[in-house]
Structures are given as structure tokens and as C-alpha cells.
Structure 1
């Protein structure tokens, strides 16, 4: 009876060994770096977060640059004549005279007097509704449209207005244009700095993840390396593993950033009639990023993936060199 049980156990063991061999053949060779692990999932999450923030930064910089260019173009096309009330002055006649003087200069394509109703609407946020402009010392405005390619002589126009119309002043908005250009440049520099910090954090994360993966598979790497496997072979296994991992995380992060911009753009387009929507549209347009923004997001995904791959490759090669130096010192 004991011999029969031993025989059954023997053949059952052979059966389990053959079954395990067949399963291994179906699965294929075991990779050096496990395709699914806790550290791999964590790395995907970290890269997705970093890419999401980087894409938000690029999209935000693109929005600010586009909005600043629109503001600059609008401001450059217009100037303003302001006439303060003076005792005994006919304001309507003074406004008409200011328009005639400005229209006589080359480079001025048109003038438009801001009427009383429009002036009252401009003051509503501060003074409320139902204003009587005649009872308040409110300056009146004349909007001057300018040819951007051939602007008039602003200094001569200013002196003519001040000489002929008491209380008149001319604002060509050049101070605001300079501030907008400075703001746009500062925003771009800040965005690039934030992007550099995020990429640096991603590189450091990949370095620690690569070292962790090597530590978890050190026995396999040592065997492969010391039986003659070249460092490029081992590095190639790691770099493609981390490239696929980074590509997954970067695609998730980039898609999430695009979804955020699309949601904000949808909200803005459906709230144009509200004060909040009008204010957001005035500051940032429709929140629709330009073609350069989409190209920047796609480039960020590719750069993060390639940077992760190169970082893991360099880390593996350096670790293998340290392994060789340690073994050489022992010999």
C-alpha cells in the first residue's frame, strides 16, 4: 500500500512539473523587470501627476500669451481723449472739436464719442445705476482708432488738444502695452521654471524607481551580468520597461490636462451672459488653447517618456559599473 502511494505521488509530481512547464511556455520568458508591481503602479501615478501639472503649466502659459497678444493688439489700435468738465464749457462742443482735431492727423482712422449712457454704464460698478452725468464732474471720453502700421505723432496730437481744449488730455496706452509685454514675458519665464522643476522631480523619481527595481531583481541581474550579458542588454530591458511605464503615466496626465481645459472652455461658453463668465472671457478669452498649446502638451508627453527611458538606462549602466568595481576590489 505504501509503494502504491509512493508511485502515485511520484507520477503526480511529474504531472505538476509538466503542467508548470507548459504554463511557463505559454507565458513566454520571464522579463528581468516585472511588468506589474506596486512600485510600477506608483511610478505611473507619479509620472501622471507630474505630466498633468506640466501640461497645465504649458496650457496656462499658452492662454496667457494669447490673451496678452489680443490685449496688446486691441490697446495698440485705440487711444483715448479725456475731457474734464470746466466751468462755462460746452462739453458736447468740446467733444466734437476733439474728434475733429484727432481726425486731422495722419494715422488716425476714426473717432467715436462715448455718449452719456455709455459713460453711465462704465460707472455703474462703482456708483450704481440711475446716475445723472450732468450733476457729477465726470470726464467724457473720445475713442480714437489708430492705424497700427502708421500711427500718428502722439506728442503733437497731445499738444494740439491741450492748446485748443481746456481740460483735455490724451492717453495712447503705451504704458499699458509695456506692462502687458512685461507680464507675458514674466509668465513665460515662471512657466518654464515650473516645468523645469517638474521634469527634475520626475528624473529623481525615475532614478529611485530604477534602483528599487534593480535591488528587487539584483540576483537575476548579477547572474546575467557575470555570465557575460552586456550592460547594454540589461539596460535595454530596463529602459523599455520604464519607457512604457512613463508613456502610460504621461498619456494619462496629458489627457487629464486636456479634459480640464475642455471643461473650463465648455463652462465659459455656457456662462457668457453671467458676470463671472464675462469676466473670465475678458481676461482669458474662451479658455481654448491654441495649436501651440496642443503641440506643447504632446511634446511634454514624449519628452517625459524619453527622459524617463534615458534616465533609467544611465542609472542601470552606472549601477552595473559600480557592481564591476566592487567585484574587482574583492578579487
Structure 2
């Protein structure tokens, strides 16, 4: 007795196409390999250096602007001692004469005790100013937006008190501005070098990845895969690497500035902190500095992605040249 078994139906064409669509495919570029980890470390280092440079330039420029603002708000009248000069009267006369000019706000005579404290680091304590030919100072506060006529003031002081000398600090302001501009130029140069080194590194890493997967790229391209499709696969791969590396470097730089700011706030009034503050100001870069770090992360990721894409497109173009010229014997070298 024969049993009738139901015959298995063959899969329909639509079902076969659905199975083919859901079948997983492997990436052209391996998601994790030694070269990828090495490139990630290089990008992280470059990002860290770029963010440190940006933060350092921002701190120096902010400190220079603070110095410039403080100096430009005051001028100093220096009176040299003389045997026939009544120093206290000369100081009062110089202050009163300076305040007669438009653009001046107030005047302060630096007293003997303050003068002695200013000289103490060089001459030691217990100074007797009567025995030393130490000049005395008058500090005049001026309007930054509407400064007085320094030439007229200097001439009037010289005619009234020959021992008086007016210092408007213009020389110091010019030097601070020049220093800030030089620092900004050096920082910009360092950033350009960092970005150039990173671009070259990405070019070599992309060519290395192409060399390791050259046969896959050639087969895909020969069977009809467009150059843009192959380039997009490499582009996604290097975008992930650059975002991870740049993010790690930027985060480490931001953490370094935050820790430096905390250390500075907890070690105030110490010689080391005072010297660091005098040179670099506060180590706080503010929200604009952290926005700059975030911008550098995005710039590095964008440069890495564009460099990888252009390198792949150039490489596929070279492969097409080799295919179109049978007489050529050279092959693609990574």
C-alpha cells in the first residue's frame, strides 16, 4: 500500500529574493584590525595635541588682553629725588596737575610703605627711603575710551616739575599685543602641522587598507560596483575610527584643562601658582574653549573622512587606468 506524501513545494522566486535580501553581508573593510587600532591611537594623539594648542593659545591671548586692559587704564608719573625738591609737595602737585586734563579719573600717590614693599624682593626689608635715591610714583587712572593728551600732559609736568617723568605704558601695550599675535600665529602653525600629519597618516592607512583588500575591491569594481559605493564603505569605516579617536583625544584635553583649573584654585597664594598665573593667567578656558575642542573633534573627523574618500577614489581611478591600458605592467602599490 503506497502512502501518498505531500510534495514539498519549491520556493517561489519572490521568496528566494526575500531570502537573498536578508542574507547578511560582510563589510569590505574589517571593522577591527591592528591598523585600525593604530590609526585610532594616532588620531587620538593628534586631537589631544590640537586641543591643547587651541586651549593654550586661548589662555595666553586672554591673559595678554587682561594685561593690556589693566595697563591701558593707568598711567604712572615718576618723580626722581633731588636735594632741593620737596618730594611730598611734588607728588601732590603732579597728581593735581594730571587731574586737570580731560580723560583722567583719579590719582593715587604711592606712599613710602608701599614703595618699600615693592622694592623688598630686590633690596630686602627694613629699607630707609631717605638714604636711597628711590623715585616715588603717582598712579593716575584714565578713561580707556577717551584717554588724555599724553604729549600735553608730559610737557606740562616737565615745565612744572623737572624731575617728573610720565610713563603711559604704550611700549608695554605694544609688546603685549605683539606677543599675543605671535603666540596666535605659532599656535595656528602648530595646528596646521598637526592636521597635515593626520591627513598623511590617514592617506597611508587608507592605502594600507586598500592593499589588504585589493582583490575584494577589484572584484566588486569589475562586476559593476561604482567607485562611490566602494569609497562610501571606506568612508564609513574611517569616520567611525576618527570619531572614536578624536573624541578620546578631545575628552582627555578637556579633562586636563579641568584638572589644571581645579589644581590652580586649590593652590592659590603659593609661589608656583602665582608664577603660573602671572605667565598664563587662569587655566580655565571657559565654555568657548570647550566649544573649540568640540569643533576640533568635528574638523578632524571631517578631514579624516574626506581624505579616505579621496584616496579610495584616486586608487580606483588608477585601477581603471591599468585595466584600460593592456600594455601597462605596473600594478597598484599601497
* Partner SS for 1:149: coil
Q: Could you say which residue in structure 1 is the equivalent of 2:56?
A: 60
Q: In 1, distance between residues paired with 2:186 and 2:237?
A: 33
Distance (Å, rounded) in 1 between the aligned partners of 2:166 and 2:23 = 80
Residue 313 of structure 1 is matched in structure 2 by 309
The 1-side partners of 2:41 and 2:121 are apart by 46
Q: Separation in 2 of the partners of 1:291 and 1:193?
A: 24
**Does the CA contact (< 8 Å) of 1:44 and 1:246 recur in 2?**
yes
Q: Is 1:83 paired with 2:79? A: yes
1:72 corresponds in structure 2 to 68
Q: How many angstroms apart in 1 are the aligned matches of 2:215 and 2:111? A: 84
Counterpart secondary structure, 2:325: helix
- The residue aligned with 2:296 is 300
What residue in structure 1 maps to residue 211 of structure 2?
215
TM alignment of 1:275-286, pairs within 5 A: 275-286=271-282
- Residues 157-185 of structure 1: CA deviation (Å, up to 9, x unaligned): 11111111131100000111111111111
**Is 1:49 aligned to 2:45, yes or no?**
yes
- Give yes or no for the alignment of 1:94 onto 2:90: yes
Alignment pair present for 1:138 and 2:141: no
Work out which of the residue numbers 268, 282, 290 in structure 1 matches 2:264.
Answer: 268
Could you list the runs of 5+ residues in structure 1 that have no partner in the other structure?
Answer: 1-24
* 1:153-172 matches, cutoff 5 A: 153-172=149-168
Q: Distance in 1 between matches of 2:271 and 2:137?
A: 25
Residue 26 of structure 1: how far off its partner (Å)? 11
C-alpha distance in 2 between matches for 1:152 and 1:290: 35
Q: CA RMSD in A?
A: 1.6
Residue 163 (structure 2) pairs with residue 187 (structure 1)? no
Report the 3-state secondary structure (helix = DSSP H, G, I; strand = E; otherwise coil) of the residue aligned with 1:287. Answer: coil
Whether contact under 8 Å (1:84, 1:140) holds in the other structure is: yes
**Partners of 1:91 and 1:28 in 2: CA distance:** 93
Equivalent of residue 151 in structure 1, options 147, 154, 157: 147
Equivalenced residues, count:
307
**For residue 14 of structure 1, what is the aligned residue in structure 2?**
none
On the 8 A contact 1:62/1:290 being kept in 2, the answer is no
- Give the 3 Å change call, closer, same or farther, for CA 91–130 of structure 1 in structure 2: same
Aligned to 2:331: none
Q: C-alpha separation between the residues in 2 aligned to 1:134 and 1:262?
A: 50
1:37 lines up with 2:33 in the alignment: yes
- Distance (whole Å) between structure 2 residues aligned to residue 75 and residue 290 of structure 1: 24
Q: CA deviation at 1:89?
A: 1.6
1:322 is matched with 318
**Residues of 2 paired with 1:65 and 1:26: CA distance?**
57
Q: Which has the higher helix share?
A: 1
Tell me which moved more, 203-212 or 274-283.
Answer: 274-283
Specify the alignment match of 2:242 in structure 1: 246
Indicate conservation of the 8 Å contact 2:51/2:250, yes or no. yes
**1:40-92 CA distances to partner (integer Å, 9 max, x unpaired)?**
01001101111111111111111111111111111110000001111132211
Deviating beyond 6 angstroms after TM superposition, the runs of 4 or more aligned structure 1 residues are none
